[in-house]
Amino acid sequence: MKQSKFVTFAIMGFVALVFVITLSNSLFITIDSGEQGVLFKKFGGGLDIENPYDQGFHIIAPWNRMFIYDVRTNEAFEQMAVLSRNGLTIKVDMSYRFQPVKNKIGFLHNEVGPDYQNVIIIPEIRSATREVIGKYLPEELYSTQREAIQDEIFQRTSKSVGEKNIIIDAVLIREVTLPETLQAAIERKLKEEQSSLEYEYRLEKERKESERRVIEAQAKADANRILNASLTSNILKDKGIEATLELANSPNSKVIIVGGGDDGLPLILSN
């Protein structure tokens, strides 16, 4: 009898072990860092929207199901062909960063599901891009208005997906490809505008240099006028005598004739 009971318990234990191993993926759930889970209770009221599960180890009933979401910021890329305001086709390469609203994945799962990027984000990005770029000319997208266009696409997309508990962190226009003939024409126009600006800069520089020279000449003329007004013949003679005396003191041999020069100034005869 004891041996029979032991065999029975052994068989029951083995069956239980096989059962636990078989259902281990359903019983033991590990949520990694940067993830959250939302639990569907088959016999307990359905989806637990209000209480998402944080990272770590969790034990759940085998008949329940855990849906795990990556709540970190992710980046995706999108290529589009859109029409500009004048009807030309423009190819746009874009990227965008997104993530679910943390602690709201229950609502996201209930309303949209795990494929929210294809269901919500991509259609909204495409729609906003077509609407915004359709208001601009190709040359504006190619040069001056790219940041404004980029920001408007971001604002529209962020508002629409935010209603579905999704965050758009940024929308970036990485590259714009125009028809070759149009791109060449725009580049020529930009080059001409740059040359015109450079020419205007040179003219302005020359004008300022001319003004500087006029001011400098006027200052010299004013200085000479003041100097001439202050000089007299006696002052000039006195300065001439002082200069002659300084030359007389030099070591070079010379002959000084006092009163031999013009206006009675000393005359210096040097060897």
Q: Considering only CA atoms, which of 37, 183, 41 is closest in space to residue 102?
A: 37
CATH H-level, domain 74-178: superfamily:
Band 7 domain (3.30.479.30)
Residue 76: band (very low, low, confident or very high) from pLDDT cuts 50, 70, 90: very high
Q: Considering only CA atoms, which of 96, 90, 97, 100 is closest in space to residue 67?
A: 100
Per-domain residue ranges of the chain? 2-70, 74-178, 180-230, 233-270
pLDDT per residue as tens digits for the range 42-61: 887 888 898 898 988 888 88
Q: Which residues pair with 40 in a beta bridge?
A: 47, 65
Backbone angles phi and psi of 130, in degrees to 5? -65, -45
The arithmetic mean of pLDDT across residues 65-80, rounded, is 92
pLDDT per residue as tens digits for the range 246-268: 666 666 655 555 555 555 555 55
Write out the DSSP string of 132-199: HHTTS-HHHHHTTTHHHHHHHHHHHHHHHHHTTTEEEEEEEEEEEE--HHHHHHHHHHHHHHHHHHHH
What is the model's pLDDT at position 26? Answer: 62
Neighbours of 119 (CB within 10 A): 14
pLDDT per residue as tens digits for the range 130-175: 999 888 887 777 666 788 888 999 999 999 999 999 999 999 988 8
Neighbours of 156 (CB within 10 A): 19
Interatomic CA distance for residues 140 and 58, integer angstroms: 54
Interatomic CA distance for residues 103 and 52, integer angstroms: 6
Class of residue 129 by CB neighbours under 10 A (exposed 0-12, middle 13-18, buried 19+): buried
What is the model's pLDDT at position 216? Answer: 83
Q: Answer yes or no: are the C-beta atoms of 141 and 176 closer than 8 Å.
A: yes
Strands (E), the chain: 28-31, 35-41, 46-47, 56-59, 65-70, 74-83, 89-100, 166-177, 254-257, 267-270
What is the model's pLDDT at position 247? Answer: 63
Q: Give residue for tokens 């929308």.
A: 171
pLDDT per residue as tens digits for the range 173-197: 888 887 676 666 666 776 777 777 7
Residue 106: band (very low, low, confident or very high) from pLDDT cuts 50, 70, 90: very high
Burial 6-30 (b: 16+ CB within 10 A, else e): eeeeeeeeeeeeeeeeeeeeebebe
pTM score? 0.60
Q: Say yes or no to pLDDT of 271 above 60.
A: no
pLDDT per residue as tens digits for the range 189-229: 767 777 777 777 787 888 888 888 888 888 887 777 776 66
